[in-house]
């Protein structure tokens, strides 16, 4: 597998270089266990956060920064919450407790207006002196604990705390320490953020500036005005001011982009060094016969992309192309034309689908499109005809043997199946092209596997219907050329989309009135609900792709400026009225005067197959021209007369799902309408998503918006994240410019020095970045 060889090449080149000793030493320094540096106890605590080595700790970047001048608003603290509060000590007194025996220290801290009690108990007063000494009036500190209540005032019992600047050597230093932005680390209740901060400083403070070899080559630091590694770590962990941490984080964002792009650039270079078999076009064979028998003209996009692919196939460098196109864009025809070019040139093509069911569907589609061209060896077949063969694991052994034989002999020009087709047991006479439909489950590793097959790897076309924003394509699929089928075949109508506030009765009445008008004109309407039954306890079909992260904690890094982390403090969601259900909605519509006399059907996943089929028939025939349904109609339903879709509680659905749903109307050239009924308030993310949907029917634009609104989460996918060396800071939309720049830099590096011999630290960084991806892949397979 060349993911592995990428890694080992890196080691080999680093090892052969004069700097090998330095590189090894660098690695030892990074991987030094924290037990050795911080002692077993602290190391064990940090281990709870998976921080094992010096590098783990130093790369544990703060999540945000607090402004030291800004105290926490104590009035906002809620009883029961685990909080970290920044406040000033007002008083601290020790009292002995005659009744219970023992002593108690009570301190009052304040945000200037409100007070919070801190309480410590001990057997003897002496034990509390240490606290009293630190908690001197006027000092500022961070206090962590769970908010309790005692005689009407809020308090923290035995809080963990840090007094700012108290460990300083002299007054000047104390002032400096007290004015620094305060880093807030991703922490655990048992490992508070400042304990992490202290450990970081224990490790970082004594390091000389050149302790580690910087993975970023010096000339690139200069080019972008970034500081070297250790000073940048200080910027991030011990910033003098907010400019410092911003500068530091920017450097690490760039570093991640450079590592990623360097890995991709090298992969690409390795790929370009491979040789494949050129499959030149012929104008006297199947490809042209196919074009002649197509019942529709190709769109301009299909032509243009077809030309790109045909040219790729004529070269003896293996094609690696990603074809993106929204559902219905007509990718199959494009793929088939490419496959026919290869078969005409004497090779074979394989079409891989994500599931056996989809593979079987493809077989039917290809045969239908090809007609007699797919009947090679049969009386009805055209002269140049070939065979299209299905090969799947669930086939009977006889059918499978026959299919295997056709693939091995070359009788089957086109073999359709799943990824199992790439297994060793399937032999091809001359596999010239592999088409992968739906890229998601076909990752970097599988691409590598394919490339590693034989010494003349086949050309490859990867197709995706889920629009991948350009920035993601560039990041994750940076080793692929990309083509986009932007336009859809003619005859698809405009769909006007509007967001309707759920509490606006006038608009709702108008919506039902629109359904009446359409039905009277012979059309159909869908009304989509999130749930099946009226009883709030029953869920819908469970497939609304609501993203729980959308309103979740914001872990934006660069944007977080100032402010104190209040631990688990989150806005309390107002209790919502239950979501509309299919049964309630059908009953409600049946009683609306606007819809009097109109048949209303229902459809959901719990109906039997027969009942579903009947409901669809009655809808299609017009017996029940209004269909109240769950999202089961999202895929595969095709009723050309459908022109209205009303989605209730639309704010509960994801962008992509609403986009797919909307694709059910406007299919037969009738102008159509999609109404998104929403309870989302203006200014919320949910509202913005719906507005985005109303603004465009372009799946790509929507995917970009979705990504931005999701604050991008982990769009890079499993292969690019999850391990300890994964990308922590890079965000594909926000950092698109940085990624672009790093891509240019990486290509320059690879051109000059394909094995990074001059840059062993970068080679090392790439290797450790690839490592977890590989482990992850092994787990999944």
Q: Which residues bind ligand ADP (CB under 6 A)?
A: 296, 298-299, 302, 325, 327-333, 465, 489
HSE toward the beta carbon, residue 664, CA cutoff 13 A:
26
- φ/ψ of residue 112, rounded to 5: 105, -30
Q: How far is the CB of 388 from ligand ADP (least distance, A)?
A: 16
Cα separation, 203 vs 630, whole angstroms:
56
Q: How far is the CB of 652 from ligand ADP (least distance, A)?
A: 26
Closer by beta carbon to ligand ADP, 13 or else 302: 302
Closer by beta carbon to ligand ADP, 164 or else 350: 350
Closer by beta carbon to ligand ADP, 358 or else 588: 358
Q: Which residue is nearest to ligand ADP (CB)?
A: 330
Closer by beta carbon to ligand ADP, 463 or else 676: 463
Q: How far is the CB of 331 from ligand ADP (least distance, A)?
A: 3
Closer by beta carbon to ligand ADP, 326 or else 518: 326
Report whether 760 contacts 22 (CB < 8 A): yes
Q: How far is the CB of 658 from ligand ADP (least distance, A)?
A: 18
Cα separation, 123 vs 137, whole angstroms:
24
Radius of gyration of the chain, Cα coordinates, nearest whole angstrom:
32
- 136: nearest Cα among 99, 90, 179, 199: 90
- 717: nearest Cα among 418, 464, 458, 350: 464
Residue-wise over 484-502: b if at least 16 C-beta within 10 A, else e? bbbebbeebeebebebbeb
Closer by beta carbon to ligand ADP, 441 or else 780: 441
Closer by beta carbon to ligand ADP, 176 or else 364: 364
CA 364 to chain centre: 33
Residue-wise over 617-648: b if at least 16 C-beta within 10 A, else e? ebbbeeebbbbbbbbbbbeebebebbbbbbbb
Q: How many CB atoms lie within 10 A of CB 364?
A: 12
Cα separation, 248 vs 557, whole angstroms:
12
Sequence-ordered list of residues with C-beta below 8 angstroms from that of 67, at least 6 positions apart, any chain: 181, 182, 242, 562, 563
Report whether 648 contacts 526 (CB < 8 A): no
Cα separation, 54 vs 37, whole angstroms:
8
Residues in the chain: 781
H or E stretch at 690: helix 685-695
H or E stretch at 264: helix 242-272
Report whether 550 contacts 684 (CB < 8 A): no
Closer by beta carbon to ligand ADP, 86 or else 329: 329
Closer by beta carbon to ligand ADP, 247 or else 659: 659
Q: How far is the CB of 370 from ligand ADP (least distance, A)?
A: 12
- 94: nearest Cα among 65, 59, 119, 63: 119
Place of tokens 């089961």: 632
Closer by beta carbon to ligand ADP, 332 or else 691: 332
Q: How far is the CB of 634 from ligand ADP (least distance, A)?
A: 14
Q: How far is the CB of 368 from ligand ADP (least distance, A)?
A: 9
Q: How far is the CB of 349 from ligand ADP (least distance, A)?
A: 16
Q: Can you tell me whether residue 669 is helix, strand or coil?
A: coil
Q: How far is the CB of 75 from ligand ADP (least distance, A)?
A: 56
Please write down the HEC assignment for all residues of 560-597. CCCCCCCCCCCCCCCCCCCCCEHHHHHHHHHCCHHHCC
Cα separation, 688 vs 651, whole angstroms:
10
Closer by beta carbon to ligand ADP, 345 or else 661: 661
Q: How far is the CB of 355 from ligand ADP (least distance, A)?
A: 15
Structure tokens at 766: 């790439």
Bridge partners, residue 119, by sequence: 106, 157
Closer by beta carbon to ligand ADP, 435 or else 465: 465
Q: How far is the CB of 657 from ligand ADP (least distance, A)?
A: 17
Q: How far is the CB of 326 from ligand ADP (least distance, A)?
A: 7
Angle at 186 between CA 181 and CA 189, to 5 degrees: 110
Q: How far is the CB of 323 from ligand ADP (least distance, A)?
A: 9
Closer by beta carbon to ligand ADP, 317 or else 332: 332
């Amino acid at each position: 597998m060349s993911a592995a060889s990428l890694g080992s090449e890196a080691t080999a080149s680093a090892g052969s270089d004069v700097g090998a000793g330095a590189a090894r030493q660098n690695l030892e320094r990074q991987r030094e266990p924290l037990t050795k540096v911080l002692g077993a106890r602290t190391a064990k605590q940090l281990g709870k956060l998976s921080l094992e080595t010096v590098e783990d700790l130093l790369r544990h970047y703060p999540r945000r920064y607090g402004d030291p001048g800004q105290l926490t608003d104590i009035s906002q603290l809620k009883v029961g919450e685990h909080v970290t509060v920044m406040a000033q000590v007002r008083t601290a007194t020790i009292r002995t407790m005659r009744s219970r025996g023992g002593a108690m220290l009570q301190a009052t801290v304040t945000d200037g207006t409100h007070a919070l009690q801190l309480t410590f108990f001990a057997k003897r007063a002496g034990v509390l002196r240490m606290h009293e000494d630190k908690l001197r009036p006027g000092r500022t500190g961070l206090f962590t604990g769970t908010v309790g209540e005692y005689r009407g005032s809020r308090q923290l019992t035995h809080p963990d705390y840090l007094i700012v600047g108290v460990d300083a050597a002299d007054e000047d230093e104390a002032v400096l320490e007290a004015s620094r932005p305060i880093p807030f680390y991703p922490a655990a209740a048992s490992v508070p953020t400042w304990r992490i901060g202290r450990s970081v400083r224990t490790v970082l403070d004594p390091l000389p500036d050149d302790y580690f070899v910087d993975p970023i080559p010096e000339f690139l630091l200069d080019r972008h005005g970034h500081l070297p590694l250790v000073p940048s770590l200080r910027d991030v962990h011990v910033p003098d001011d907010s400019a410092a941490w911003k500068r530091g984080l920017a450097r690490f964002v760039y570093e991640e982009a450079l590592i990623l792009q360097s890995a991709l650039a090298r992969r690409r270079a390795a790929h370009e060094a491979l040789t494949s078999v050129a499959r030149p076009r012929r104008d006297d064979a199947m490809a042209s016969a196919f074009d002649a028998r197509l019942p529709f003209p190709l769109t301009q996009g299909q032509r243009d992309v077809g030309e790109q692919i045909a040219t790729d196939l004529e070269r003896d460098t293996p094609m690696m192309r990603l074809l993106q196109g929204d559902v219905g864009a007509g990718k199959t025809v494009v793929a088939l034309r490419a496959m026919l070019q290869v078969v005409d040139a004497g090779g074979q093509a394989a079409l891989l689908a994500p599931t056996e069911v989809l593979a079987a569907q493809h077989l039917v589609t290809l045969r239908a499109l090809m007609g007699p061209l797919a009947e090679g060896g049969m009386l009805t077949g055209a002269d140049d005809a070939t065979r299209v063969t299905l090969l799947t694991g669930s086939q009977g052994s006889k059918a499978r043997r026959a299919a295997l034989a056709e693939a091995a002999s070359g009788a089957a020009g086109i073999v359709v199946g799943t990824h199992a087709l790439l297994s060793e047991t399937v032999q091809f006479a001359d596999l010239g092209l592999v088409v992968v439909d739906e890229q998601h489950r076909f990752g970097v590793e599988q691409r590598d596997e394919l490339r590693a097959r034989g010494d003349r790897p086949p050309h490859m076309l990867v197709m995706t219907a889920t629009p991948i924003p350009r920035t993601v394509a560039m990041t994750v699929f940076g080793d692929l050329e990309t083509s986009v089928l932007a336009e859809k075949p003619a005859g698809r109508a405009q769909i006007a989309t509007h967001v309707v506030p759920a509490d606006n009765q006038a608009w709702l009445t108008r919506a039902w009135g629109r359904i009446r008008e359409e039905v009277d004109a012979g059309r159909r309407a869908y009304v989509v609900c999130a749930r099946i039954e009226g009883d709030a306890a029953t869920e819908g079909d469970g497939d609304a792709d609501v993203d729980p992260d959308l309103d979740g904690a914001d872990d934006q890094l660069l944007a977080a400026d100032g402010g104190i982390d209040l631990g688990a403090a989150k806005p309390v969601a107002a209790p919502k009225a239950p979501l509309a259900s299919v049964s309630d909605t059908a009953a409600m519509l049946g009683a609306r005067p606007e819809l009097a006399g109109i048949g209303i059907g229902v459809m959901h996943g719990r109906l039997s197959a027969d009942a579903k089929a009947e409901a669809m028939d009655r809808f299609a025939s017009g017996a029940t021209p209004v269909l109240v349904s769950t999202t089961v109609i999202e895929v595969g339903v095709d009723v050309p007369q459908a022109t209205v879709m009303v989605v209730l509680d639309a704010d509960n659905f994801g962008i992509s799902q609403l986009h797919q749903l909307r694709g059910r109307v406007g299919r037969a050239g009738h102008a159509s309408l999609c109404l998104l009924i929403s309870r989302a308030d203006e200014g919320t993310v949910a509202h913005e998503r719906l507005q985005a949907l109303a603004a465009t029917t372009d799946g790509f634009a929507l995917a970009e918006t979705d990504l931005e609104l999701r604050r991008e989460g982990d769009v890079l996918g499993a292969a690019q994240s999850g391990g300890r060396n994964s990308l922590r800071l890079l965000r594909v939309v926000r950092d698109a410019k940085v990624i672009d720049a790093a891509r240019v830099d990486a290509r320059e590096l690879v051109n000059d020095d394909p094995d990074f011999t001059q840059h062993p630290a970068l080679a090392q960084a790439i290797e450790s970045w690839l490592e977890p991806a590989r482990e992850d892949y092994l787990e999944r397979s």
